[in-house]
Structure 1
Amino acid sequence: MEISHILNELGEDRSLYFNAVSPPIVQSSNFVFDTFEDLRKAFEDEDSAYLYSRGKNPTIEILRKKLAALDGAEDALVFNSGASAIFASVLANVGAGDHIVSVDKPYSWAWRMFDNMLPRFNVTTTYIDGTRIENFEKAILPNTRIIYLECPNSNTFEMQDLEAVARLAKERGIITIVDNSYSTPLHQKPISLGIDLSLQSATKYLGGHSDTVAGVLTGKKDMLQKIFNEQLLNNGSGISPFNAWLILRGLRTLPVRLQHITKTTEKVIGFLKNHPKIERVIFPFDENFPQIELARKQLSGACGLLTIVLKADSHEAIERFTYSLKHFLVAVSWGGHESLILPQAAGIAPETFDPTIEKHRMARMYLGLEDADYLIQDLEQALTVL
């Protein structure tokens, strides 16, 4: 299916809403039924009819169709945050006493669920270096139910061979879940590589304007139907119609935004790699990235998220550099219109800062929709303070 059709036409029947070009926000909590029979069927399956917007809603339905098609999946669910999508995908597939294999240092809220919440139900997690398939083979136990992946991760961008992991998991009857937030469905297709459930933070590139929080989960219809009934409805973790509309708006410009950001990133990385105050740049398509061959095989592109290692000898120097930037905001997240920076030193007490530890000198950067030269000039003047 052509991406232009998905983003601009799929799921949109304008005859149903006054021939409006943009779908309306159906900001209704509930819906009317003409017969007992229709109401009875809706009670039996809330995903088959518009009953109550905690579950199914016309605006959200259009978004679900587009997101499923983008991922090449049978169905999609949209949650009120990426963390909700992670929670629902995992909780739906484990029971008391089960075991999870996860890549090392996953997204913080996945990590907290594995370490703080699930142990209360005797669910254990083994963390591994996911860059080698043999590490998965060694970590699997008889009670392993989920392999949790993050590819690439969002700090140093380690990847997993999704096709190899999916093949291993299917042989053992294990569910695979991957966080695809870094790449979006435009640059990586986990479902086509055999992964069972693909999730992403729609807060990032899909929304694209830093004005909404949402999460997406895609996969087979039967798996998502179970999650819809048991997690989304029970937890009330579905997205609101207004936020769904904001993501629909963001999808219209997704390809052109990613193209612009990609070009900007290439130019900025060229500047950073040749600057004497930068020790190295970490980026999946950099020639020195340890997994560049896997990146070329598995990703069709990478966008604006990269990490730099600063040549800095103190916590104060990194803080001075950070706040000398005039056009980068100091903030978490990525994928919006604005450029951001997030130094690791911000989470380290000054007295424990150690310049010999590379991680302490790392700063994650996101390059937004500004002009590349505009950002380079800002970086150049700020790096002088180091």
Structure 2
Amino acid sequence: MKSKQKQKSYGLSTRAIHVGTSPDPQTGALVPPIYQTSTFVFPTAEEGANRFAGEEGYIYSRLGNPTVKALEQKVANLESAEAGLAFGSGMAAVSAVLLGLLRSGDHVICSRGLYGCTFGLLRDLKERFHIDFTLCDMTQQDDLQKAIQANTKVIYIETPINPTLEVIDLEMVASVAKTNQITTVVDNTFMTPFLQRPLEFGCDLVLHSATKYIGGHGDVVAGIIAGKQEIIDHIRMTTQKDIGGILSPWDAFLLIRGLKTLGLRMERHTQNAFQVARFLEKHPQIESVYYPGLSSSMYYPFVQKQMDGAGGIISFEVKGDTQSGIHFMNQLKLCKIAVSLGDVDTLIQHPSTMTHAIVPEEERLKMGITPGLIRLSVGIEDVEDVIADLEQALSAIE
């Protein structure tokens, strides 16, 4: 207990480096080995039976692996959670959570803006398994309360919302959910635990596409959830075990390495994004800029209330028609046209024809995803170079 309390007293970056890992006791190797194995040997048949009966110990890597466990412990600690659970992709994590917490006839309330594939999953669950969902403007407490039904079991939110950057009051949502005995799930991918920790505001479960900032280098696909031990154990022994969307030990190693520099990277992403947002806000060719870190943003008070920075994602609209925005993107030289986000590289994409193309146009417009909206994931390059690239591309469409 003392050791755990001591770890909690350390700063986030210290914990990201040290929690869950220690030098190898046999060789003294500073970096622990990667346990790239499918199965584990039992010293006796009786020990094997004991592990299958629930005693602690490794059996098979789909059921648990030391390298993956180290990652889970790190993220759980950073998120102020009791336990964590890693998956082979962000959508594997989302699927496991929703399938683990919902059953036929249940209802889930979702933030009005959602990642396109999450929307697609919810639509499939509704059509195939009669799990209904409602998209709700959760920036308004009255709208959230009106959306609650007798069979509502989960409130699922992204904040900031992808890609419109609306910010939801976590404390408000958690309070409404608890009053109605509803489980709150928060996609914290945009923020990471370095900038926002939803469980500290009363939410029940947090998830990440670890492909993004946690990995940070565009070379791994992964997902992870963190929350109360009871919820994590339930998802582990149902949807993860039986569907099998596990994370490989090698990918867990890459994420452990990524976590060690996450604090530094998030600081740089945030600093760069703020400067880029200010540049865009003043540029005559830009119609609108959506970045909660700007004092002009209606969501700026929530950044101060529940976040330690506004992150590295900006959305904006170029003046003119949709083709003006497409032409602008095609003029970029340093910034890369690609989906995903959170990489050290600056990435730009067009949500209505890319990440959210799966969402019907009517729903996209309700979400605030207009044909002219562009999402920019600001990397950690020298920000002057990023701004110069944006400026020359904007000049080309004047």
Scaled to the shorter chain, the TM-score interval is over 0.9
CA distance in 2, matches of 1:17, 1:4: 27
Q: 1:345 deviation in Å? A: 6.2
Determine which of 209, 217, 223 is the counterpart of 1:209: 217
Q: 1:42 deviation in Å? A: 1.6
Q: Hey, what does 2:371 align to over in structure 1?
A: 360
Q: Hey, what does 1:151 align to over in structure 2?
A: 159
Q: 1:131 deviation in Å? A: 0.6
Determine which of 4, 15, 21 is the counterpart of 2:13: 4
CA distance in 2, matches of 1:167, 1:243: 36
Residue 48 of structure 2: SS of its match in structure 1? helix
Determine which of 369, 381, 384 is the counterpart of 1:370: 381
User: Which runs of structure 2 are paired with 1:105-124 in the superposition (5 Å)?
Assistant: 105-124=113-132
Q: 1:167 deviation in Å? A: 1.4
Q: Is the 8 A contact 2:113 2:164 kept in 1?
A: no
**How high is the sequence identity, in percent, across the aligned residues?**
37
Runs of 5+ consecutive residues of structure 2 not aligned to the other structure:
1-7, 362-367
Q: Is the 8 A contact 1:17 1:24 kept in 2?
A: no
More divergent stretch after superposition (6-15 vs 297-306): 6-15
Q: Is the 8 A contact 2:163 2:351 kept in 1?
A: no
Q: Hey, what does 2:110 align to over in structure 1?
A: 102
Q: Hey, what does 2:307 align to over in structure 1?
A: 299
Q: Is the 8 A contact 1:133 1:161 kept in 2?
A: no
Determine whether 1:341 maps to 2:348. Answer: yes
* TM-score, reference length from structure 2: 0.91
CA distance in 1, matches of 2:26, 2:339: 38
CA distance in 1, matches of 2:26, 2:178: 44
Cα gap change, 1:341 to 1:75, in 2 (>3 Å):
same
Q: 1:41 deviation in Å? A: 2.3
Q: Hey, what does 2:4 align to over in structure 1?
A: none
Q: Is the 8 A contact 1:309 1:358 kept in 2?
A: no
Q: 1:19 deviation in Å? A: 1.5
Q: Hey, what does 1:23 align to over in structure 2?
A: 32
Q: Is the 8 A contact 2:195 2:307 kept in 1?
A: yes
Residue 210 of structure 1: SS of its match in structure 2? coil
Cα gap change, 1:218 to 1:380, in 2 (>3 Å):
same
Q: 1:358 deviation in Å? A: 8.2
Match for 2:51: what amino acid?
A
Match for 2:54: what amino acid?
D
Q: Hey, what does 2:254 align to over in structure 1?
A: 246
Runs of 5+ consecutive residues of structure 1 not aligned to the other structure:
none
Match for 2:282: what amino acid?
N
Q: 1:327 deviation in Å? A: 0.4
CA distance in 1, matches of 2:240, 2:338: 29
CA distance in 1, matches of 2:306, 2:93: 23
More divergent stretch after superposition (337-346 vs 90-99): 337-346
Residue 101 of structure 2: SS of its match in structure 1? coil
Match for 2:53: what amino acid?
E
Q: Hey, what does 2:186 align to over in structure 1?
A: 178
Residue 370 of structure 2: SS of its match in structure 1? helix
User: Which runs of structure 2 are paired with 1:163-312 in the superposition (5 Å)?
Assistant: 163-312=171-320
